[in-house]
Amino acid sequence: MKHNFGAGPGILPHEVLKQAAAAVIDFNGTGLSLLEISHRSSEFEAVLDEAVKLVKELFSVPEGYSVLFLQGGASTQFALAPYNLLPEGGKAAYLETGVWANKALKEAKFFGEVEIVATSKESNFTYIPKDYTVPADAAYFHITSNNTIYGTQLQEFPKSPIPVVCDMSSDIFSRTVNVADFGLIYAGAQKNMGPAGVTLVIVKDDLLGKTGRKIPAMFNYQVQIEGGSMYNTPPCFAIYVSMLTLKWLKAKGGVPAIEAENNEKAKVLYEEIDRNPLFKAVAAVEDRSRMNVCFVTENPELEKPFLKLCDEKGIVGLKGHRSVGGFRASIYNALPITSVYVLIDAMREFAEKNK
């Protein structure tokens, strides 16, 4: 058995993989593969409708918001958010907490002025800035809820006088959120929701159509809403697997239930890191991510031997990002706590061998 701590594409529930594999051969008894049915067929329209329904149910999406399944990853949304929300000659505010936040604000500069309200770049993004003021004259305030590379996470979402836009790619559906506190939420699926290839967008309808610019159809949220996420052929397989994953999450008790599991996984792993003399966490304690646990060895020469031990125990995907080094244990929704304990046992065994 493999224990997959990879940062993304991340682990998916085994039962979801089995259902998806079967659908590739014969989708719902149609005699056709899911990969070859028409996206306009009643069978696939039912899949898309169910996926939208589950998003609304699991996140308690209020009236006045639309749910979209789009292509291009969160990186495309870095541009589409300002394209659709930032008026000509307007200003947007950004909180810079890592590489992806930085990439998002760079894209926004194509459409207007960008004000960086705070940054933790000087510390290699080891903490989340907290002492800042959101400018009331900006069109929106952009945040990144979880930073996969650096292992930091917003434990509380900021109060803002303007609409909040949030990239939730790496912690979507991992914890409860109040959608009404946001103007726009977007998330690449490949951490907690499904495979790479589809991106979830939840947008407040009354924010749209106010930029004063013409937007090409594929990039226009209003057009995509009117087309029901099917202005063009959607990523059918990725949407189907996302739907199955959302059904799996609902059966587990929904977001509150998985949040409790995620909190416990993070708690026991951080406790071991803090206790074990060979390892040290990277992020500030108050900002530690419950999705991506980044840690290093006190002696860098021990990194390769530890990864070798992990490999022998079926632990994969643990190598840290080059920006931080060390190790990164991504403990997404589908990773069971038993895998976390396998990692903890490996850490203890390694420490015993290297006293």
Domain boundary assignment for the chain: 15-251, 253-353
Q: What is the pLDDT of residue 34?
A: 97
252 is annotated as an active-site residue = no
| Digit-coded pLDDT (tens) for 328-338 | 999 999 999 99
Region 224-249 average pLDDT: 98
Tell me whether the CATH fold assigned to 15-251 matches the one assigned to 253-353: no
Region 124-136 average pLDDT: 97
3-state DSSP assignment of residue 75: helix
pLDDT at 1 over 90: no
| Digit-coded pLDDT (tens) for 135-145 | 999 999 999 99
Q: What is the pLDDT of residue 75?
A: 98
* Active-site residue (options: 18, 53, 121, 167): 167
Cβ burial, residue 127 (10 Å; 0-12/13-18/19+): middle
* pLDDT band for position 85 (cuts 50, 70, 90): very high
pLDDT at 54 over 90: yes
Half-sphere exposure for 37 (CA within 13 Å, toward CB) = 24
Region 109-121 average pLDDT: 98
Which class would CATH give 15-251?
Answer: alpha beta
Report which of residues 298 and 45 the model is more confident about. Answer: 45
Q: What pTM does this model have?
A: 0.97
Tell me the pLDDT of the chain averaged across its residues: 97
* Active-site residue (options: 49, 91, 100, 159): 100
CA pair distance 223, 45, nearest whole angstrom: 18
* Active-site residue (options: 18, 109, 181, 191): 191
Q: What is the pLDDT of residue 355?
A: 83
167 is annotated as an active-site residue = yes
* CATH fold of 253-353: Aspartate Aminotransferase, domain 1 (3.90.1150)
Non-local CB neighbours of 292 within 8 Å, separated by 6+ positions: 7, 146, 147, 148, 149, 151, 170, 328, 329, 330, 331
CA pair distance 127, 118, nearest whole angstrom: 11
Region 123-149 average pLDDT: 97
* pLDDT band for position 262 (cuts 50, 70, 90): very high
Q: What is the pLDDT of residue 298?
A: 85
Q: Which amino acid is at 283?
A: A
* pLDDT band for position 261 (cuts 50, 70, 90): very high
